[in-house]
């Protein structure tokens, strides 16, 4: 996609984020825009960076690896937003600054073991499956507290909150309850005061529903199509 178009798309998304913040009495700086660049070439990421974006999300370790190395001259914060297999924990740990998709103890353990030589802690989120669809990734809400408690023991991981991918529904008012549920679950966990655990971050909202997500408390929105245009269908 043309650089000018990416720039215009970002300006439009920015306006919509700001409007959603105003509607819900929130501050713009408390919502982080993560530009989801999966399937898009490094040149598009560079264009978005030049337009002011600093956070980028990728779904697959393999794809991200070459793109991240081609963009090593840019100060980008990389977010892994897709499902992560525990055998890819080490490269993921080396490439990404945030992992949004921790959904098992096994994966948490591998990420912790793969921790950086400098001992830096890795910020992670737990992906919760609120739709309870068998095909979806994420841990069922009923098991989330147990996973949080286990992860709190890993001193190399820094648990910051929760992430959700709700079912795709045309009617945004039908999506809203999922965002509310995630926020309520984060509140419930927060009240347990588990050491080494924060529930400050809620990663929720994509191109078609990010405004509703912001109204419901999202602190990170993951936006691809509205910035970079449509992607080739997944094969
Ligand atoms: C692809 C993807 C997005 C972005 O989706 P868009 O509809 O293109 O904005 C957000 N989150 C996750 C987990 C994704 O896989």
The per-residue pLDDT for range 61-91, each reduced to its tens digit, is 999 999 999 999 999 999 999 999 999 999 9
CA of 34 to the centre of ligand 1 (A): 10
Pocket test for ligand 1, best of 12, 53, 57 (most atoms within 8 A of CB): 57
Q: Is the pLDDT of residue 134 over 70?
A: no
Q: Is the pLDDT of residue 3 over 90?
A: no
Cβ–Cβ < 8 Å for 103, 124: no
Q: How far is CA 39 from CA 21, 207, 227, 232, in A?
A: 29, 16, 13, 8
Q: What is the pLDDT of residue 211?
A: 98
Cβ–Cβ < 8 Å for 78, 66: no
- Quote the CA–CA distance of 161 and 75 in Å, as a whole number: 24
Query: In the structure encoding, which two tokens stand for residue 92, read together?
Result: 């993921």
- The arithmetic mean of pLDDT across residues 96-122, rounded, is 91
Task: Specify the 3-state DSSP secondary structure of 34.
Answer: strand
What domains are there in the chain, each with its CATH number?
3-228 (3.20.20.10)
Q: Tokens 């509703």 identify what position?
A: 212
Cβ–Cβ < 8 Å for 107, 142: no
Q: What is the pLDDT of residue 95?
A: 96
pTM for this prediction: 0.96
Q: Is the pLDDT of residue 135 over 60?
A: no
Query: Average pLDDT, whole number, for the chain?
Result: 95
The per-residue pLDDT for range 154-182, each reduced to its tens digit, is 999 999 999 999 999 999 999 999 999 99
CA of 58 to the centre of ligand 1 (A): 9
Task: Specify the 3-state DSSP secondary structure of 8.
Answer: helix
Q: What is the pLDDT of residue 119?
A: 76
- Quote the CA–CA distance of 191 and 199 in Å, as a whole number: 10
Rounded to a whole number, what is the distance in angstroms from the first to the last CA of the chain?
Answer: 21
CA-closest residue to ligand 1 atom 6? 224
Ligand 1, atom nearest to 101 Cα:
13
Query: In the structure encoding, which two tokens stand for residue 7, read together?
Result: 């720039």
pLDDT more than 90, % of the chain: 89
Cβ–Cβ < 8 Å for 31, 17: yes
Q: What is the pLDDT of residue 232?
A: 79
Q: Is the pLDDT of residue 21 over 80?
A: yes
Q: Is the pLDDT of residue 235 over 70?
A: no
């Amino acid at each position: 996609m043309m650089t000018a178009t990416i720039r215009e798309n970002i300006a439009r998304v920015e306006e919509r984020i700001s409007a959603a913040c105003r509607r819900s009495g929130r501050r713009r700086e408390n919502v982080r825009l993560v530009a989801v660049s999966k399937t898009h070439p490094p040149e598009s990421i560079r264009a978005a960076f030049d337009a002011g974006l600093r956070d980028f999300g990728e779904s697959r370790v393999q794809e991200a690896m070459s793109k991240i190395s081609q963009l090593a001259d840019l100060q980008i914060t990389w977010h892994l937003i897709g499902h992560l297999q525990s055998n890819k924990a080490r490269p993921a740990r080396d490439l990404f600054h945030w992992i949004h998709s921790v959904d098992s103890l096994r994966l948490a353990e591998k990420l912790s073991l793969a921790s950086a030589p400098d001992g830096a802690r890795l910020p992670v989120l737990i992906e919760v499956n609120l739709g309870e669809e068998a095909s979806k990734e994420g841990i069922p809400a009923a098991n989330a507290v147990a996973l949080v408690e286990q992860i709190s023991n890993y001193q190399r991981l820094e648990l910051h909150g929760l992430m959700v991918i709700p079912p795709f529904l045309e009617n945004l008012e039908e999506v809203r309850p999922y965002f509310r549920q995630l926020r309520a679950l984060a509140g419930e966990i927060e009240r347990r005061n588990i050491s080494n655990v924060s529930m400050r971050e809620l990663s929720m909202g994509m191109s078609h529903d990010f405004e509703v997500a912001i109204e419901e408390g999202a602190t990170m929105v993951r936006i691809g199509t509205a910035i970079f245009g449509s992607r080739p269908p997944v094969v």
